[in-house]
Chain A
């Protein structure tokens, strides 16, 4: 197999990783893809996280519908909030579960000990989480449109871009914190405690963009402004995650 040959060239030290990035950026991506594909394949076989978090997200939407609905339709303007809160809650549950899986098999240590650079492990995990969150969003958004007659799909392109960027941001920050919490007591409570304050700008931008899109007169320009904001958020935390991930994960 080619992967074994490539993995020998990888080095876990930061100097090695830096050198590896300049001379061979491709192996890093290939390692990351391997890690992501491993996670997704485990998930595709059991479908545990997708089914449970997906069902949880559906339940959230139904609960929200009861909580925020006055006959005959939802209170005006709550749909964007419902969408993003459902995505965030379900995403957190899925995130915790994805890392629990590594902990149960004690495979996180194996991943970190493997010759793949830690950044590749980070990228791989984050990619898998982003795909999971996006799947939840893809479930919740049509359901909201269906149950609450929300005009979510009047402007499909900005909505999709917005959800993708939101999921990526969630996955980046979430992966860093979930990986840090792996060996920590009471991590189930602490994950949302540490994650949500950091995610606040993402919620603000996400809900504002969605609100601009579902308004009676959609304001696409405003939506794109907030989508750009999401892009900046993602880029910023991408950089800071890259910079700190290695020193944050507990070996």
Chain B
């Protein structure tokens, strides 16, 4: 199934990226107060959505892995954990650029920024642990992902209560061109996310199976360590 699904998703994402770029710079009207800086919004928000989707996929896959001990769930957790780091980096970068243009600072301590940053840090922790913890790293990473997922709402509430910075008020009522472009970007990044996720799951599974085969070969005395 992946053999068909991944190319389709990748193709849709590629076409979507091109069309949405055209939509962003040609079709959508200029926003009255933010001018060009508002255009980053079309890619920033979908990436942020994908960050949260990736984190929850990772958290739930980790939880199921911990409960069922089925390595296939671990592959999903691994793939979505890494994707969360990638999409998180894009979110933070685009968000900073936007903040510089709209608020005058690269970084402000605003609820959504801080929540995304901390979430990203947790996911970097998950990836680091998996890389460097050695034996039992999968379970440790899974535990961190589950705890991290539970942490997100708490961080959000915690930061929000002390938040004095004005909320980012983007265009509340989008006109038709804007709305279409926005949802097109949203779909594009969803396709991209699914394509990357499936590919990474596939490679993770292949890596794992190779490792298992290698171990079996060692056990059987067919391979030399």
Bound pair (A, B): yes
Contact A236 B132 (CB under 8 A): no
**A198-B122, A244-B66 given; A181·B140 CB < 8 A:** yes
How far, in Å, is A92 (CB) from chain B's closest CB?
15
> How far is A205 from B132 in the complex, measured between Cα atoms in Å?
31
Number of interface residues of B (CB under 8 A): 33
* CB-contacts of A200-227 with B (<8 A): 200-201, 204-205, 208, 225
A173–B132 touching, CB < 8 Å: no
State the majority secondary structure of interface residues on A. Answer: helix
Cβ of A229 within 8 Å of any chain B Cβ, yes or no, is: yes
Residues in chain A near residue B121, CB distance under 8 A: 197
Inter-chain contacts of B142 with A (CB < 8 A) = 248
Chain A residues positioned under 8 Å from B147 (CB to CB): 173, 176, 198, 237, 240
B158 & A180 in contact (Cβ 8 Å cutoff):
no
Determine if B158 and A186 form an interchain contact, defined as CB atoms under 8 angstroms apart.
no
B162 at the interface (CB under 8 A from A): yes
Q: How far is the CA of A237 from the CA of B149 in the complex (A)?
A: 11
How far apart sit A250 and B67, CA to CA, in the bound complex (Å)?
14
| A122 proximal to B (CB < 8 A) | no
Decide: A177 and B143 in contact? CB cutoff 8 A. Answer: yes
Once the chains bind, are A194 and B140 in contact (CB under 8 Å)?
A: yes
A207, chain B: closest CB distance, angstroms = 10
Measuring CB to CB, which residues of chain A are less than 8 angstroms from any residue of chain B? Answer: 173, 176-177, 180-181, 183-186, 190, 193-194, 197-198, 200-201, 204-205, 208, 225, 229, 232-233, 236-237, 240, 244, 247-248, 250
Could you pull out 22 A-B pairs where Cβ atoms are within 8 angstroms?
A173-B147, A177-B140, A177-B144, A180-B139, A184-B135, A184-B136, A184-B140, A185-B132, A186-B132, A190-B140, A193-B128, A193-B129, A197-B118, A197-B125, A198-B148, A204-B162, A208-B161, A240-B146, A240-B147, A244-B63, A250-B136, A250-B139
